[in-house]
Amino acid sequence: MNCPRLRSWFSERYDVDGIRDLFRKKTVPAHRYEIAYYTGGTTLFLFAIQFVTGMVLSLYYIPYFEHAHGSIIEIVTKLNMGWFFRSLHHWGAQIAIVVLFVHLWCTLLLKSYRKPRELLWFSGFILLVISIFFGLSGYLLLWDERAFAAVRVATGGAGNLPLVGGFIKAFLRGGMDVSGDTLTRFYAFHVSILPLFTVLIVAGHVLLVQYHGMSVPLSVSGQTRKDVPFFPNVFYKDLIVWLIVLGMVVTFATLFPPEIRGKADPLAPAPENIKPEWYFLFLFQTLKLFPGQIFGLNGETIAILLITAGILFLLFIPLFDIKSQRGEKSPLFTWIGMIYLLYFLVMTVIGFVS
């Protein structure tokens, strides 16, 4: 592609060469853990898929409790390619969460959160919370039995937090109970509030990566290595990974379109063998571990407090890990990261098979 007039139009107005130099100068360290660098870009790519498929789905979805369930049935049965885009949105979300968790654990185990990248970790953590909330709010939009029970449990769980619990619960539900008001609210979260915050925070996150450059893991930082130019070497590899991921999402979407259960009925009993989305299974399994009463205290409150403490510790890990802050190896926090990972994996598997 060569349009000299267009090029000169731009270069008369903007410092095109300067911008191009920025790209040209960007290098990426090459070492045995470099595969971790692709997880962030892949998450971004999957988010882009979610934005696009979400936009087209919102053209037809009706965010009102009487019509929501029916409108999705309509999308998947009557509209051109409707089944495909709904399925793509579903699987894109699933795989985005998988990749997000991989990205999280790469960052955690390679300690890329260490000084000076603490803000990257915090912004990434906020994005994780947003993504999970995306999942929960998107799931309720189906307005089927399972979504109804899942959102009751999730918002009710937040209600067990001391002091602020009741406030958060009522705010999320839009009332005392999960109802049509909750659906409207979650729709607003899902299509307007969360996407806007996501765009802003992702922009900040990506800019911070450009500012700091790629983090080099402590274990390889001493070795001599060659840095590879981002463009075109790494960029093309990025594209390869994205293409593979796109292929996976489309394959899953085509072969395994997600089920839609019966319309939610606030007066129907919770369906048998109900299980939450897989990324909530470890929490679900943890809740089952706790008996109703522990030394006369409410078991749930203790469970929720412990879970909250675990999550907060993970959030503030860059501040606790003083050794890696100083640039020293810190095996203790590798172990802590491994324990988090194992707990998540084991509980998720138990949740699946039980």
Point out which residues bind another protein (CB under 8 A): 149, 152-153, 156-157, 167, 170-171, 173-177, 179, 181, 266-274, 284, 287-288, 290-293, 298-300
Residue 232 or 266 with smaller CB distance to another protein:
266
Residue 37 or 189 with smaller CB distance to another protein:
189
Q: b vs e for 157-191, b when ≥16 Cβ sit within 10 Å of the residue's Cβ?
A: bbbbbeeebeeebeebbbeeebebebbebbbebbb
User: At closest approach, how far in Å is the CB of 351 from another protein?
Assistant: 12
Residue 177 or 227 with smaller CB distance to another protein:
177
User: At closest approach, how far in Å is the CB of 157 from another protein?
Assistant: 6
Alpha helices, DSSP H, located in the chain: 4-13, 16-25, 37-57, 68-78, 82-109, 118-140, 145-158, 165-173, 180-188, 194-212, 218-221, 235-255, 281-289, 299-315, 317-320, 322-325, 331-353
Residue 4 or 269 with smaller CB distance to another protein:
269
Q: What is the DSSP letter of 161?
A: S
Residue 130 or 283 with smaller CB distance to another protein:
283
Please tell me the distance from the alpha carbon of residue 260 to that of residue 74, in angstroms, as a whole number: 12
User: At closest approach, how far in Å is the CB of 172 from another protein?
Assistant: 10
User: At closest approach, how far in Å is the CB of 164 from another protein?
Assistant: 13
Please tell me the distance from the alpha carbon of residue 112 to that of residue 302, in angstroms, as a whole number: 32
User: At closest approach, how far in Å is the CB of 146 from another protein?
Assistant: 10
User: At closest approach, how far in Å is the CB of 293 from another protein?
Assistant: 6
DSSP string, 228-240: EEIIIIIHHHHHH
> Of 179, 185, 136, 155, which Cα lies nearest the Cα of 266?
179
Residue 169 or 205 with smaller CB distance to another protein:
169
Question: 331 CB contacts (<8 Å, ≥6 apart)?
Answer: none
Which run of H or of E encompasses 298? strand 297-298
User: At closest approach, how far in Å is the CB of 246 from another protein?
Assistant: 36
User: How many CB atoms lie under 10 A from the CB of residue 155?
Assistant: 21
Residue 33 or 290 with smaller CB distance to another protein:
290
Please tell me the distance from the alpha carbon of residue 35 to that of residue 220, in angstroms, as a whole number: 14
Residue 324: beta bridge partners? none
User: At closest approach, how far in Å is the CB of 185 from another protein?
Assistant: 8
Please tell me the distance from the alpha carbon of residue 91 to that of residue 97, in angstroms, as a whole number: 10
Residue 47 or 189 with smaller CB distance to another protein:
189
Helix (H, G, I), strand (E, B) or coil at 144: strand
